[in-house]
Structure 1
Amino acid sequence: MQNSLNTRSMIFTLYGDYIRHYGNEIWIGSLIRLLEEFGHNEQAVRAAISRMNKQGWIVSRKQGNKSYYYLTPRGVRRMDEAAKRIFKLQPDEWDQTWYMFTYTIPEEKRSIRDELRKELVWSGFGLLANSFWISPNNQREQIQQMLEKYEIGDYVHYFTATYDGPNECAKLVNECWDLQATNEKYDRFIKIYSEKYVIDKTKIENGEMTDGECFVERTKLVHEYRKFLFVDPGLPQELLPDNWLGNYAASLFSDYYRTLAVPSSRFFETIYQEGNTVKKDKAYNALNHPLINEL
Structure 2
Amino acid sequence: MGGRTLASVEDYDILDTPDSDASDGPSPRPRSLMLAFFGNHVVEEEDRDLCVYSGSIIDVLGRVGVGEQAVRSTLTRMVNRGLLRRQREGRKMYFGLTRQATRVLLDGRTRIWKQGAVNDDWDGTWTLLGFSLPDSWKRQRHDLRSRLTWSGFGALYSGLWIAPGEVDVTGVVAELGLTDHVKIFHAQAEVSTDIDLMVRDTWDLESIAARYVTFGKRWTPHLGGGVGDDPIGTRLRLVSEWLWTIRTDPRLPTRHLPPSWPARPAQETFRRVAEQVTEPARDVARELLDTVPAR
User: Smaller-chain TM-score range?
Assistant: 0.7 to 0.9
Give the Cα–Cα distance (whole angstroms) in 2 for the partners of residues 92 and 61 of structure 1. Answer: 45
In the alignment, structure 1 residue 219 sits paired with structure 2 residue 245: no
In the alignment, structure 1 residue 178 sits paired with structure 2 residue 204: yes
Partner of 1:246: 263
Alpha-carbon distance, 1:84 to partner:
1.6
Give the Cα–Cα distance (whole angstroms) in 2 for the partners of residues 5 and 17 of structure 1. Answer: 16
- 8 Å CA contact 2:60–2:232 kept in 1: the answer is no
**What code does the residue aligned with 1:21 have?**
E
Give the Cα–Cα distance (whole angstroms) in 2 for the partners of residues 84 and 111 of structure 1. Answer: 27
Alpha-carbon distance, 1:34 to partner:
1.4
Partner of 2:186: 160
Partner of 2:163: 135
In structure 2, relative to structure 1, the CA distance for the partners of 1:277 and 1:49 (3 Å cut) is closer
SS in structure 2 opposite 1:128?
A: strand
**What code does the residue aligned with 1:197 have?**
L
- 8 Å CA contact 1:10–1:223 kept in 2: the answer is yes
Give the Cα–Cα distance (whole angstroms) in 1 for the partners of residues 233 and 217 of structure 2. Answer: 20
Corresponding pairs, count: 264
Give the Cα–Cα distance (whole angstroms) in 1 for the partners of residues 133 and 89 of structure 2. Answer: 43
- 8 Å CA contact 2:43–2:106 kept in 1: the answer is no
SS in structure 2 opposite 1:99?
A: strand
SS in structure 1 opposite 2:244?
A: helix
Partner of 2:220: 194
Partner of 2:125: 97
In the alignment, structure 1 residue 231 sits paired with structure 2 residue 254: no
SS in structure 1 opposite 2:29?
A: helix
For residue 93 of structure 2, the aligned residue among 57, 61, 67 is 67
Give the Cα–Cα distance (whole angstroms) in 2 for the partners of residues 162 and 47 of structure 1. Answer: 48
SS in structure 2 opposite 1:106?
A: coil
Give the Cα–Cα distance (whole angstroms) in 1 for the partners of residues 57 and 80 of structure 2. Answer: 18
Partner of 1:284: none
Give the Cα–Cα distance (whole angstroms) in 1 for the partners of residues 173 and 93 of structure 2. Answer: 33
In the alignment, structure 1 residue 20 sits paired with structure 2 residue 43: yes
Partner of 1:276: 291
SS in structure 1 opposite 2:130?
A: strand
Q: TM-score, normalised by structure 1?
A: 0.81
For residue 57 of structure 1, the aligned residue among 83, 91, 103 is 83
Alpha-carbon distance, 1:118 to partner:
1.3
SS in structure 2 opposite 1:190?
A: helix
Name structure 2 gaps, 5 residues minimum.
1-17, 19-26
SS in structure 2 opposite 1:31?
A: helix
Alpha-carbon distance, 1:229 to partner:
2.7
Q: Percent identity?
A: 26
Specify which structure has the higher proportion of helix: 1
Give the Cα–Cα distance (whole angstroms) in 1 for the partners of residues 275 and 266 of structure 2. Answer: 14
Q: CA RMSD in A?
A: 2.3
CA deviation string 1:243-273 (max 9, x = no partner): 111011111111111111121111122221x
Name structure 1 gaps, 5 residues minimum.
280-295
Give the Cα–Cα distance (whole angstroms) in 2 for the partners of residues 267 and 52 of structure 1. Answer: 25
In structure 2, relative to structure 1, the CA distance for the partners of 1:145 and 1:17 (3 Å cut) is farther
